[in-house]
C-alpha cells in the first residue's frame, strides 16, 4: 500500500473523491468492512440457528401447542410427545446441583476472598478454575466408575438420615437424579466460586472495618455485612452456573438413568432434555419425532436464554458498581 502524502484536502478540487480513495488506500474501509462482515455473520449465524430450531419444530408445535410442555407421555411409537419428564429431570438435577454447589461455592469464595493469605488464595483459585476446564465426558467417566458406586455405598446413610422425606425413598440403583445432580454440582461449583470471590473482593474495605469496629466477629462481618453487599453478584453467578448445568449433556446422560418418568424420589432414574436429544436424535424416524426433539432443543434454548440474561444483568451491574 503506497503511502500518499497528506495534503490540505481543501486545496484539492475533488477532495471528496480523494479522501475516499485515501481512506481506501490506508485500508480503513477494508478493515471496517471486513470486521463488520464478521460481526454481521455472528448475528446472522445466531439468527439462523434460532430460525432453524423454530422452523424444524413446527409439526409438533402445531400439533401439541403449549400442552407439549405439560404432557407426561413420551411415546414415539404412538406419536405422543410430551416434554414434562425431561423438563422435570433437567430442573430437578440442576436444583440438586445448586443445593450442593451454592453452600460449597459461597463458602469457598468467602475463604478465598476473606481469609486466605494472597498467595494461597491465588494458588487455590487457580486449581479451582482449572476444574471448569475439565471436559464433560470425563466427569461422566468418573461418574460411572467412582461416583455411582460411592453413592450406592452411601445410600443406607442417606436413607437413614433423610429417608423420612419423599425425596429419598424408593429403590436406589446408583444411576439416578441424585447422581446426576451431584456430578453437575462438581461441574458448576467453579463458576460460583470464581465469580463470587471476585464480587466479594470488590466490597469496599470500609464496610468490613466498620463492622469489626462495632465488635463483630470475622464471621459475623463476612456473613452479615460483606456477603449481603455482594449478594447481587453471587446470585448472578448462581444463575450462570444454572444456565451451564441446564445444557450439560454427556456427564448427565452417563449417570442419570435415562428413564423418562417423573418421580418424587431423587433415588429414581430420570432423564434430561439434553440427554434425550443426544440419545434419540439419530433414530428419530418420520417427521413428527425429529420435530419433537428439536422442539425440546428450542425449549432448552429458551430456558438458557432467560437464565443467562438474568445472570448477565446481575453480574454486570455488580461489577460496574464495585469497580468504582
Partner 1 sequence: MKSFHNTRRKVVNVVMLSLTGVCTLIAAGTLVFILSYLFIHGVRSLNWEFLTKLPTPVGETGGGMANAIIGSAKLLFLAMVVGVPIGFLGGVYLAEFAGTTTSFVLRYTTDLLNGVPSIVIGIFAYTLIVLPQHHFSTFAGGVALGIMMIPIAVRSSAEFLRAVPGSLREGAMALGASKTKALLTVVIPAAKNGIMTGILLNLARVAGETAPLLFTSFSNRYWSPGWDQPTAALPVMIFTYAVAPYDDWHQQAWSAGFVLLALVLAVNITARLILSKRGPVAH
Partner 2 sequence: MTRTAFWILLTVVSLRISPAQQILINAAGATFPYPIYSKWFDVYHKKFPNIQINYQSIGSGAGIQQITAGTVDFGASDSPMGDEELNQFRQKRGFGVLHFPTVLGANVPAYNLSGVAQQLNFTPEALAGIFLGKITKWNDPELVKANAGVNLPANPIVVVHRSDGSGTTYVWTDYLSKVSKEWESKVGRGKSVNWPVGLGGKGNEAVAGQIKQTPNSLGYIELTYALQNKMSYGTVRNAAGVFTQADLASVRAAAAALKDIPDDFRVSITNPLGKTAYPICTFTWLLIPEKIADPAKKKTVVDFLGWMLAEGQSQVESLSYGRLPQPIVAKEMKGIGKIQ
**Contacts (CB under 8 A) with partner 2, residues 72-91:** 73, 75-77
Counting contacts by CB under 8 A, is residue 175 touching partner 1? no
Q: How far apart are the first and last CA of the chain?
A: 44
Report the residue number, 257 or 322, with the smaller CB distance to partner 2: 257
Residue 299 binds which one of partner 2, partner 1, none, with CB within 5 to 8 A depending on kind? none
Contacts for 34 with CB less than 8 Å, ≥ 6 apart = none
Per DSSP bridges, beta strands 80-81 and 74-75 are antiparallel
- Quote the least distance from Cβ 127 to partner 2, whole Å: 30
Counting contacts by CB under 8 A, is residue 230 touching partner 1? no
Q: What span, in angstroms and rounded, lies between the C-alpha atoms of 41 and 45?
A: 6
**How many amino acids of this chain bind partner 2 (CB under 8 A)?**
24
SS3 call for 144: helix
R_g over Cα of the chain: 26
The correct pick among 53, 144, 250, 262 for binding partner 2 (CB under 8 A) is 144
- Quote the least distance from Cβ 310 to partner 1, whole Å: 11
Residue 31 binds which one of partner 2, partner 1, none, with CB within 5 to 8 A depending on kind? partner 1
Counting contacts by CB under 8 A, is residue 98 touching partner 1? no
Distinct helix (H) and strand (E) counts, the chain: 15, 2
Beta bridge partners of 75: 80
Contacts for 4 with CB less than 8 Å, ≥ 6 apart = 22, 25
Report the residue number, 52 or 209, with the smaller CB distance to partner 1: 52
Mark 189-228 with x for binding to partner 1 (rule: CB under 8 A) and - for no binding. Answer: xx--x-----------------------xxxx--x-----
Q: What number of CA atoms fall less than 13 Å from residue 250's CA on the CB side?
A: 10
State which of positions 74-93 bind partner 1 (CB under 8 A): none
Counting contacts by CB under 8 A, is residue 32 touching partner 1? yes
SS3 content of the chain, % helix, strand, coil (to 5): 75, 0, 20
Counting contacts by CB under 8 A, is residue 2 touching partner 2? no
Residues in the site for partner 2, rule: CB under 8 A? Answer: 73, 75-77, 144, 148-149, 152, 171, 173-175, 257-259, 269, 271, 279-280, 282-286
Amino acid at each position: 500500500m503506497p503511502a500518499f502524502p497528506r495534503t490540505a484536502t481543501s486545496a484539492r478540487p475533488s477532495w471528496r473523491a480523494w479522501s475516499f480513495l485515501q481512506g481506501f488506500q490506508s485500508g480503513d474501509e477494508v478493515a471496517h468492512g471486513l470486521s463488520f462482515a464478521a460481526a454481521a455473520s455472528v448475528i446472522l449465524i445466531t439468527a439462523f440457528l434460532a430460525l432453524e430450531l423454530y422452523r424444524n419444530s413446527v409439526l409438533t408445535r402445531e400439533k401439541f401447542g403449549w400442552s407439549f410442555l405439560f404432557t407426561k407421555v413420551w411415546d414415539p411409537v404412538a406419536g405422543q410427545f410430551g416434554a414434562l419428564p425431561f423438563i422435570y429431570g433437567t430442573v430437578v438435577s440442576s436444583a440438586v446441583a445448586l443445593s450442593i454447589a451454592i453452600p460449597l461455592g459461597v463458602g469457598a469464595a468467602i475463604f478465598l476472598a476473606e481469609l486466605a493469605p494472597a498467595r494461597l488464595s491465588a494458588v487455590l483459585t487457580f486449581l479451582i478454575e482449572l476444574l471448569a476446564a475439565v471436559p464433560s465426558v470425563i466427569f461422566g467417566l468418573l461418574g460411572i466408575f467412582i461416583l455411582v458406586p460411592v453413592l450406592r455405598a452411601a445410600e443406607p446413610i442417606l436413607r437413614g438420615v433423610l429417608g423420612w422425606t419423599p425425596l429419598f425413598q424408593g429403590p436406589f440403583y446408583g444411576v439416578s437424579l441424585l447422581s446426576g445432580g451431584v456430578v453437575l454440582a462438581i461441574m458448576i461449583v467453579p463458576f460460583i466460586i470464581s465469580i463470587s470471590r471476585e464480587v466479594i473482593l470488590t466490597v469496599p474495605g470500609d464496610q468490613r472495618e466498620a463492622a469489626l469496629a462495632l465488635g463483630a466477629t470475622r464471621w459475623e462481618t463476612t456473613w452479615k455485612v460483606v456477603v449481603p453487599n455482594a449478594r447481587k453478584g453471587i446470585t448472578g453467578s448462581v444463575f450462570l452456573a444454572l444456565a451451564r448445568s441446564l445444557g450439560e449433556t454427556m456427564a448427565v446422560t452417563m449417570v442419570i438413568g435415562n428413564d423418562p418418568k417423573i418421580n418424587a424420589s431423587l433415588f429414581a432414574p430420570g432423564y434430561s432434555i439434553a440427554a434425550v436429544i443426544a440419545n434419540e436424535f439419530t433414530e428419530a424416524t418420520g417427521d413428527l419425532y425429529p420435530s419433537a426433539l428439536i422442539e425440546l432443543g428450542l425449549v432448552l434454548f429458551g430456558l438458557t436464554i432467560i437464565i443467562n440474561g438474568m445472570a448477565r444483568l446481575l453480574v454486570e451491574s455488580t461489577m460496574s458498581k464495585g469497580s468504582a
